[in-house]
Structure 1
Amino acid sequence: MAEAIAFDIAAELVTKLSSRALSQIGLWWNLKDDLDDLKRTVSTIKAVLLDAEEKSVTNNLVKVWLEELKDVLYDADDLLDDFSTEALQNDLMGGNKLMKEVRLFFSSSNQFAYGLKMGLKIKAIKARLASIGSEANTFGFMVRDRPVETSFMTKKRQKTHSFKDKIIGREDDKAALLKLVLEFESEENVYIIPIVGFGGLGKTALAQFVYNDKMVYDYFELRMWVCVSDVFDVKIIVENIIKSITGQAPDQNLEMDQLQKQLRDKIGGKKYLLVLDDIWNEEREEWVSLKELLVGGAKGSRIIITTRSFKVAKITSKCQPHVLKGLSDDDAWSLFKEIAFEQRHADSTNSAFVEIGKQILERCSGVPLVIRTIACTLSYKETEKEWSSFEDNELVRISQNDGKILPTLKLSYDHLPSHLKHCFAYCRLYPKDHEIHVQTLVQFWIAQGFVKQLNPIQSLEDTGFGYFKDFS
């Protein structure tokens, strides 16, 4: 992520170096020429950053170069913030020009000395950037245009996609699961159905598709959904099952014996459906200790498990797992077309766009998450040339191996405008599977200065909520 951060800092620096306050303070300390040189150097480096980002995926030397660039840009950014603070303090000082300069000279922080110190810092940063710039020549970076950021702000989707009630290409999978959930006669009161597949295939979406079906809703007395993920802690899972039933988390001071009793009271003798989403635990004993707490349901109860591991499927259930595969070519194209051409219906019949789109789709291996990510990125590209450029220059970064979806998500991140990158990166502070309250998250973004008030009529909170919707 260093390369994307480097571009964001470089873009911010160019803006700061163009500000009137810094120009005035630079003239006052005779530093304007140094600031102008710094601006030109940063702009030159910024022009090749897109090419550097792409090369860093396969070239470790370029990755190191970008880390060094990020470090010096952070130092330059801190320096300019220091300038801005000093300029603000000077503006707040009253009196005429002569009196102001006298006070400044005899103040505890002598401004002449301050100017000399800052001048030396600027020269040091210029030298570091010059060295980094000369290293860039050895890599042979090309000047490349950055994706236009304004398109994300000016274009809005006409509708959002809910993959809970409607997902493309999974009707047969849903029908097979509904048979197991509603019709299959099992000897066990609680029958366990694993859904297995690598990341991005839509295991969770398929489970939601079944979970929200009206027949399922009417058939079961209780429906519960718990995201398990990496940490398989029976106590935490039980607490989350109870929370899913009651809508409230149980008292944190309760011991395991008390929680077990609560759970048995809630599910005992009732026909229930429980989804345990994203299980990684492959230790049989830990699973057995949880299963023993869940067998008290009435006959016909079901547990759906989603997992990437066939071993998990084997230790949790006697039945054959439902193995999720990639979408068929027709379904993959339907999904791609629905998103990529959503705002430009005419292009969906344009042979040039269709041909490029189908070539791009071949690298997606039928994985819905990859298809949606790439199609969403292309939906903001206006011309055939932009689509071809994406195919020739960026698609090579995507692996065709099963389950290798991180390069695709990284590519999607690269195409976010800088203000959204900061907001997205901030979400890394939350632990995996943490339930994020949007209103609180937006307040944190505002406090960090990530939300910019472009429209005076719109509040920062409304702008922040707009940022959040741009991620959906």
Structure 2
Amino acid sequence: MAEAIAFDLAVELITKLSSFTLSQIGLWWNVKDDLDDLKSTVSTIKAVLLDAEERSVTSHHVKDWLEKLKDVLYDADDLLDDFSTEAFRKDLLGGNKLTKEVRLFFSSSNQFAYSLKMGRQIKAIKARLTLIGSEAKMFNLVERDRPMETSFMTKKRHQTHSFKDNIIGRDDDKAALLKLMLEFESEENVYIIPIVGLGGLGKTALAQFVYNDEMVKNHFELMMFVCVSDVFDVKIIVENIIKSATGEAPNQKLEMDQLQSQLRGKIGGKKYLLVLDDIWNEEWEEWVSLKELLVGGAKGSRIIVTTRSLRVAKITSKCQPYVLKGLSDDDAWSLFKEIAFEQRSINPTFVKIGKQILERCGGVPWLLGP
């Protein structure tokens, strides 16, 4: 349904626009205002979408308007993904601010030219959205609040779990992580391994893949897998760690001191593996308050952190993060064939179309999925 998709896309765009940090856009001097303007425009349109949804049932004109809006929002989403990819690449270059600016300016992907191009594209998207917004006035659409229980904003990321016994194209990544987990000698009892990469690259799947390896199961006395996602609440995280360790949720009436005692009693002196999946929190103090509760493990304990943010990776661990890259062309094609064609023979025309699709996916497994 175009109307529901439009609302979800609008909210997702606003979330993405709000997530860009100053460090990500700092070198692109003309982009920040454009991003702020785009966010304001999308927010204005989002406010009338509930009214548009209801009226589209009886009005073909409103339904067509929603279809046009959906197309523009998809284009805007693609543009922001491109921006996120470039910002992520910029972060990975490292170095201090001056050397980073010099390196980026003289790189093959000149950032001055990139910022001008990005600014033009954002302005073009905004102009299309502004036109669509003006058309909404012809329908006399009114601002209405979407009930909280159906709002996209209340939908949390699907809770991840520990099961994953095989994934295409990640054998080398798995081998590298197994060395860090099973062979590397750390000075710290509890060694933290961040896996960082863009959304959809398969960080969670890789963590599950490693977690379920038989050597890993035999190496650790205690294994726990917890999805953190966007709400970094230490009490909730501790409750979920205890639940993963024991198979039972702790009493909801327990205070933090009691939960801490339970957690220490469970992990204290044991060589454990804990996966903290999908961390977004960039506040060092909040991370430290959780880490202090986890350092009681025996020598050889490991914590795997998956995150999209290089800053999160740096906050959670002193070690070099494991940066996950896109799939190779061959692995991407293998995955695409498995999903799209299963065991059927492939028409040569479909092969050509499939490989054109792969070029746009850039090796991101999530984009190749169903």
The two structures have a TM-score, normalised by structure 1, of 0.49
Question: Does structure 2 retain, via aligned residues, the 8 Å contact 1:55–1:62?
Answer: no
- State the 1:292 CA deviation: 1.6
1:181 and 2:181 are equivalent in the alignment? yes
Quote the Cα distance in structure 2 between the aligned partners of 1:256 and 1:163: 29
Quote the Cα distance in structure 2 between the aligned partners of 1:336 and 1:66: 40
Q: Residue 201 of structure 1: SS of its match in structure 2?
A: coil
- State the 1:282 CA deviation: 2.1
Residue identity in the other structure for 1:54:
D
Quote the Cα distance in structure 2 between the aligned partners of 1:213 and 1:223: 12
Quote the Cα distance in structure 2 between the aligned partners of 1:66 and 1:172: 52
Quote the Cα distance in structure 1 between the aligned partners of 2:135 and 2:208: 41
Name the CA shift for 1:222/1:63 in 2 (closer, same or farther; >3 Å).
farther
- State the 1:250 CA deviation: 1.5
1:54 and 2:51 are equivalent in the alignment? no
1:358 and 2:355 are equivalent in the alignment? yes
Partner of 1:369: 366
Q: Residue 195 of structure 1: SS of its match in structure 2?
A: strand
Residue identity in the other structure for 2:341:
F
1:295 and 2:295 are equivalent in the alignment? yes
Quote the Cα distance in structure 2 between the aligned partners of 1:55 and 1:191: 45
Where does the alignment leave 5 or more consecutive residues of structure 1 unmatched?
A: 14-41, 74-161, 377-472
Name the CA shift for 1:51/1:177 in 2 (closer, same or farther; >3 Å).
same
- State the 1:208 CA deviation: 0.6
Name the CA shift for 1:69/1:371 in 2 (closer, same or farther; >3 Å).
farther
Quote the Cα distance in structure 1 between the aligned partners of 2:188 and 2:282: 22
Cα shift readout 1:420-467 (whole Å, capped 9, x = no counterpart): xxxxxxxxxxxxxxxxxxxxxxxxxxxxxxxxxxxxxxxxxxxxxxxx
Q: How does 1:124-135 map to 2 (within 5 A)?
A: none
Name the CA shift for 1:66/1:328 in 2 (closer, same or farther; >3 Å).
farther
Question: Does structure 1 retain, via aligned residues, the 8 Å contact 2:65–2:132?
Answer: no
Cα shift readout 1:227-264 (whole Å, capped 9, x = no counterpart): 12222222221111111112222222222221111111
Name the CA shift for 1:258/1:50 in 2 (closer, same or farther; >3 Å).
closer
Name the CA shift for 1:183/1:4 in 2 (closer, same or farther; >3 Å).
same
Partner of 1:213: 213
- State the 1:206 CA deviation: 0.6
Quote the Cα distance in structure 2 between the aligned partners of 1:368 and 1:351: 23
Residue identity in the other structure for 1:229:
S
Question: Does structure 2 retain, via aligned residues, the 8 Å contact 1:190–1:298?
Answer: yes
Partner of 1:339: 339
Q: Residue 253 of structure 1: SS of its match in structure 2?
A: coil
Residue identity in the other structure for 1:362:
E
Name the CA shift for 1:192/1:232 in 2 (closer, same or farther; >3 Å).
same
Partner of 1:272: 272
Quote the Cα distance in structure 2 between the aligned partners of 1:190 and 1:4: 45
Quote the Cα distance in structure 2 between the aligned partners of 1:190 and 1:55: 48
The two structures have a TM-score, normalised by structure 2, of 0.61
Name the CA shift for 1:183/1:340 in 2 (closer, same or farther; >3 Å).
same
Q: How does 1:210-289 map to 2 (within 5 A)?
A: 210-289=210-289
Quote the Cα distance in structure 1 between the aligned partners of 2:179 and 2:200: 24
**Higher-RCO chain (CA-CA 8 Å, sequence separation at least 6):** 2
Quote the Cα distance in structure 1 between the aligned partners of 2:334 and 2:139: 41
Quote the Cα distance in structure 1 between the aligned partners of 2:63 and 2:239: 50
- State the 1:224 CA deviation: 0.6
Deviates more, 1:203-212 or 1:255-264: 255-264
Cα shift readout 1:328-367 (whole Å, capped 9, x = no counterpart): 1111111111112237x22x2x222111211121111111
Identity of aligned residues (%): 70
Residue identity in the other structure for 1:60:
L
Question: Does structure 2 retain, via aligned residues, the 8 Å contact 1:193–1:317?
Answer: yes
Residue identity in the other structure for 1:272:
Y
1:317 and 2:317 are equivalent in the alignment? yes
Partner of 1:402: none
Cα shift readout 1:295-352 (whole Å, capped 9, x = no counterpart): 1111111100111122222222122111001111111111111112237x22x2x222
Q: How does 1:32-111 map to 2 (within 5 A)?
A: 42=59, 50=67, 53-55=70-72, 57=75, 58=125, 59-61=128-130, 63-64=132-133
Partner of 1:445: none
Name the CA shift for 1:315/1:4 in 2 (closer, same or farther; >3 Å).
closer
Q: Residue 216 of structure 1: SS of its match in structure 2?
A: helix
Question: Does structure 2 retain, via aligned residues, the 8 Å contact 1:193–1:303?
Answer: yes
Q: Residue 320 of structure 2: SS of its match in structure 1?
A: coil
Quote the Cα distance in structure 2 between the aligned partners of 1:367 and 1:265: 41
Deviates more, 1:248-257 or 1:301-310: 248-257
Quote the Cα distance in structure 2 between the aligned partners of 1:195 and 1:54: 34
Quote the Cα distance in structure 2 between the aligned partners of 1:70 and 1:185: 67
Quote the Cα distance in structure 2 between the aligned partners of 1:362 and 1:70: 40
Partner of 1:83: none
RMSD: 3.1
Q: Residue 298 of structure 2: SS of its match in structure 1?
A: coil
Question: Does structure 1 retain, via aligned residues, the 8 Å contact 2:69–2:129?
Answer: no
